[in-house]
């Protein structure tokens, strides 16, 4: 290959390189006015995250299972969301709170109510039948609710029958019924006023009237004087003390405890019992000596050397 051919090939390569560089420069020059960002775009919130925010806006606590990384604009939008508590409806959703409301409502009503009335009061008629049936079954097992089956049906269903409040002390709502209940008691225990109020809320006025008539004995609280326990009383055992005797008794000056025993002895009267406080104060004080505690020897652990530790002094001549 001669020198002319080599120079022609180098010229062609140089010309192609210059043309490619000029084409690249023209492309860069056309986009010089456009601002480009080399940083990767920030990920936008997914559909699941946006729906979770919308669902959590009305709940008591927002959802915590969010794994997305929203951008600064999405963070600003989410910061304006207010997570508020739901409005108070008066009844809870748990079976315990619903049953407590049902017991209170039946106590206030007094008359038997159907399960539809109870569920309607609790706003639970729109729930599935399985949930309603489960609640009705729990009402029939509750100790404070009595289920009255429908006598017209041979086979009862979960919708049949009525429900009424079962008080702690049934059939006691008047003074006569209270006295009859106290007379039927076979022990000396009293009746709690709290249990009476469960079926007879207005019982305190009747208890006060019976107490003034000496037909019941009442234990009252020291703070407010409210009745706590009630026992049966016999009015024939009550005797009114004359006012003149009360005045005479108030004028009697009783000797003190320290002087009553010497006065009885001076009058050659043997006192029934001496004051233990005086006897204890007159007794000579004795110094209590501490007893020395003897230490018990521990268990011997060198039993294999007992034959070497024996006393052989008596064998000396």
* CATH no. for 95-165: 1.10.10
The segments of the chain whose pLDDT lies below 70 read 1-10, 21-93, 273-279, 295-300
pLDDT of residue 258: 76
Q: For 167-191, how does the pLDDT look when each residue is reduced to its tens digit (9 = 90+)?
A: 989 889 999 999 999 999 988 888 9
Dihedral, 204, 208, 213, 218 alpha carbons, nearest 10: 90
Q: For 88-117, how does the pLDDT look when each residue is reduced to its tens digit (9 = 90+)?
A: 444 446 777 889 999 999 988 889 999 999
The pTM of the whole model exceeds 0.75:
no
The CATH 1.10.10 domain(s) of the chain lie at 95-165, 175-237
**How many alpha carbons lie under 13 Å from residue 71 in its C-beta half-sphere?**
8
Of the options 1.10.10, 1.10.3470, 2.160.20, 1.10.760, the CATH number for the domain spanning 175-237: 1.10.10
Q: List, in order, residues 6 or more apart from 3 with CB less than 8 Å away.
A: none
pLDDT of residue 260: 81
pLDDT of residue 3: 53
In this structure, what are the phi and psi dihedrals at residue 105, rounded to the nearest 5 degrees? -70, -40
pLDDT of residue 62: 34
pLDDT of residue 24: 62
User: 136 and 116 in contact (C-beta within 8 Å)?
Assistant: no
């Amino acid at each position: 290959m001669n020198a002319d051919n080599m120079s022609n090939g180098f010229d062609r390569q140089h010309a192609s390189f210059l043309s490619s560089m000029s084409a690249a420069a023209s492309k860069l020059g056309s986009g010089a006015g456009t601002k480009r960002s080399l940083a990767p775009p920030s990920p936008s919130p997914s559909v699941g995250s946006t729906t979770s925010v919308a669902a959590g806006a009305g709940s008591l606590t927002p959802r915590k299972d969010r794994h997305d990384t929203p951008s600064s604009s999405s963070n600003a939008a989410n910061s304006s969301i207010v997570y508020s508590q739901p409005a108070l409806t008066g009844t809870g959703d748990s079976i315990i709170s619903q049953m407590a409301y049902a017991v209170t409502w039946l106590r206030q009503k007094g008359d038997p109510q159907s399960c539809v009335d109870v569920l309607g009061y609790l706003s639970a008629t729109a729930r599935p039948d399985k949930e309603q049936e489960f609640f009705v079954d729990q009402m029939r097992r509750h100790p404070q609710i009595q289920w009255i089956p429908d006598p017209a049906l041979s086979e009862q269903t979960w919708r049949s029958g009525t429900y009424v409040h079962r008080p702690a002390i049934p059939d006691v709502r008047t003074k006569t019924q209270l006295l009859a209940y106290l007379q039927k008691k076979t022990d000396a225990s009293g009746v709690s006023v709290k249990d009476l109020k469960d079926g007879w809320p207005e019982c305190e006025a009747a208890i006060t009237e019976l107490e003034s008539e000496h037909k019941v004995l009442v234990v009252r609280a020291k703070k407010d004087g409210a009745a706590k326990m009630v026992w049966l009383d016999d009015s024939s055992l009550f005797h009114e003390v004359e006012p003149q005797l009360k005045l005479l008794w108030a004028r009697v000056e009783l000797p003190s405890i320290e002087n009553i025993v010497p006065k009885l002895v001076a009058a050659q009267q043997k006192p029934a019992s001496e004051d233990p406080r005086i006897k204890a104060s007159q007794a000579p004080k004795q110094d209590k000596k501490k007893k020395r505690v003897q230490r018990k020897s521990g268990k011997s652990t060198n039993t294999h050397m007992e034959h070497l530790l024996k006393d052989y002094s008596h064998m000396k001549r």
